[in-house]
Amino acid sequence: MMFNKLFEIDKVSDSIGNINFREAVRGIIIKENKILMVYSKNKDYKFPGGGIKKDEGHMEALKREVVEETGYVCSKINEQVGIVTEKSRDRYTNDRTFKMISYYYVAEVSNIRKPQKLDPYEAKLEFKPEWVDIDDAIRNNEKIITLGISPIANWIFRETYVLKEIRNHKKGSF
C-alpha cells in the first residue's frame, strides 16, 4: 500500500457521542500523463468516487461512482493503493463524530462516455470531469488552502495529500 493517512479535521474522540461512519471508494485514473479529476464551481479538484451503498462491493461502487461523476466507464480496476481516514465533528448532528474511510484504487477508463448522473449536491457544485496535470491540480488546491478561499470543501485536504503521494510515486509508475 502506498499510503495510509488519518486527517483529524477537529480533535474528536470516538467515545464522544455516536459515530456517523461512511466508507467511500475513489479512482486514481491516469492517461497520457494527465489524471482524471472532478472540478467544482469552487475551483477545486477531487478524485472521482464516493460512498459505498449497502450491499455494494468496492469495485461495483467505484465503477458506479466514476461513471456518475465523470461519464467515463471503468474498463479495469487495479490494486488498492491507499486509505485515508477523516474524523471531524458531524456538521449536522451535535455530539456526534463523522468518520469516513476512503479507499483509493488505480483504475482505467475506456473511451466510452456517458452522461453524468450527479447527485443534487454535485449538480449544485457543477461537477465536471477534467484531465489535468498532477502538478497543476496540486498547485490549484494548495492555492485555495493557503489563501483560505471560501468555501473550502473538507475533501481538498484529503485529495491534495493523495495527489502529492501519487506524484511522489508516479516516477515508478502504477
What tens digit of pLDDT does each residue of 100-149 get? 899 999 999 999 899 999 999 999 999 999 999 999 999 999 999 999 87
Would you list the domain boundaries of the chain? 3-170
Specify the pLDDT at position 9.
63
User: Do residues 84 and 108 touch, judged by C-beta distance below 8 A?
Assistant: no
The mean pLDDT of 55-79, rounded to a whole number, is 97
0.85 exceeded by pTM? yes
According to CATH, what is the number of the domain 3-170?
3.90.79.10
Cβ neighbors of 11 (< 8 A, separation 6 or more) are none
d(CA 108, CA 67): 12
Single-letter amino acid code for the residue at 132: V
Which residue blocks in the chain are alpha helix, DSSP H? 58-70, 120-124, 134-147, 155-170
Judged against a pLDDT cut of 60, whether residue 12 lies above it is answered with: no
Specify the pLDDT at position 119.
95
Specify the pLDDT at position 25.
98
The mean pLDDT of 84-104, rounded to a whole number, is 84
DSSP E strand boundaries for the chain: 3-8, 18-31, 34-39, 45-46, 49-51, 72-89, 96-113, 128-132
Q: 151 preceded by cis ω (within 30°)?
A: yes
